A and B are shown apart, each in its own frame.
Chain A
């Protein structure tokens, strides 16, 4: 039961083909730090809308991270 409650309190982070379940109630920036992702290299999107890195990720939020680096010649 406790585990189930805890699971409900978590947010989901999706980045490329990876997915993490993390503690909500804190800003995007903190979550990126925990996942060791550079905030300069990704943008966070919630419900299809861009959110800034100080936005609080709520419980049960699904946050999609968009990679901003592209490489090679153009």
Chain B
């Protein structure tokens, strides 16, 4: 009984109702209603702060079926943006029907929000191989398909955004994702990556679409809380290939620091961005900026030869131009 005495219950700062979440680094407790309101407004502030896009722009949202991407789509719709979704069917099963269940989560989400547009690109149907099959054939990534998966997703997202005439590609990366990557790149002094990591990647080449991360200032916990409060039934399971991923290790380490010193993750990431923006820290690419040339098949920029890394997965030396274009076909039935 004595332990209960003197304990302060957490109340919403706005209305005094029972809080559903307390964000230590913001020193802010909110009820479900005011949390949703705060989360949506904070997303808008991030979009404005980094000049991500306006309501005149068409946005393509990369949708995996997880909490981050579905929450991002939900928020952008509520803010009145023109936001369509893109789902890439990776063909990952591994005994838990991972890809199938991810698409089911997206369909449930869309059923409750009529009028949304989703583009679906299925790896097997489009290229003839799932991601695990592709990884086995190409032997990239030492038995883990994460390398070809990342390469394929980046390429397909950019291609669909270009074909669909979208102004910007939005992904659901949160602050924990960004802080973990920053941590990893700092530990290994990956100066090239440190120079480029940003909430906004501008379209620096005609073949590239601008990329943005509107959730980059939310803790992963906050995005999960938003999804739960909004009743979004996302895909809870992790990609079966992510087990043991270094990203998870770095996230856990950062969360241990966060538990001891609230705000550590937030400071680590945002102060890095601030310091770099002010020129307090600078990184120089060895040998200067890489020279980008358009891939002869897909026209996306590449630093290596006349074929980009993605087209090299599918185009063989014996293929003529037409066969090469068939191997990496257009993805939208009616390009804008």
Q: Which residues of A contact B (CB under 8 A)?
A: 25-27, 38-41, 43, 45, 49-56, 66-74
Contact = CB atoms under 8 A, between A and B. Distances in A.
Given A43-B221, A50-B21, A52-B21, A73 B66 contact: no
A41 B253 CA distance: 11
B247 A52 contact: no
Given A38-B255, A52-B22, A70 B242 contact: yes
Contacts of B9: 54-55
A9 B145 CA distance: 48
Nearest to A68: B224
Contacts of A40: 219, 221, 255, 258-259
Given A49-B20, A50-B20, A56-B4, 6 more contacts: A25-B4, A40-B258, A43-B221, A45-B228, A54-B22, A72-B242
B256 to A, nearest CB: 7
Contacts of B245: 71-72
A41 B255 contact: yes
Given A49-B20, A54-B9, A54-B22, A71 B238 contact: yes
Contact of A74 (B177, B219, B228, B255): B177
B149 interface: yes
A45 to B, nearest CB: 7
B252 interface: yes
A73 B66 CA distance: 13
B162 interface: no
A41 B258 CA distance: 10
Interface stretch (B44-52, B168-176, B192-200): B168-176
Given A26-B3, A43-B221, A50 B229 contact: yes
A2 to B, nearest CB: 20
Q: Which 3 A-B pairs have the closest CB atoms?
A: A72-B242, A71-B248, A40-B255
A50 B10 contact: no
Interface string B209-243: 00000000001110111001100000010110110
A36 B74 CA distance: 34
A72 B259 contact: no
A56 B7 CA distance: 10
Nearest to A27: B7
Nearest to B238: A70
Nearest to A56: B4
B158 interface: no
Contacts of B225: 43, 50
Nearest to B246: A71
Nearest to A41: B255
Given A68-B221, A71-B245, A74-B64, A43 B238 contact: no
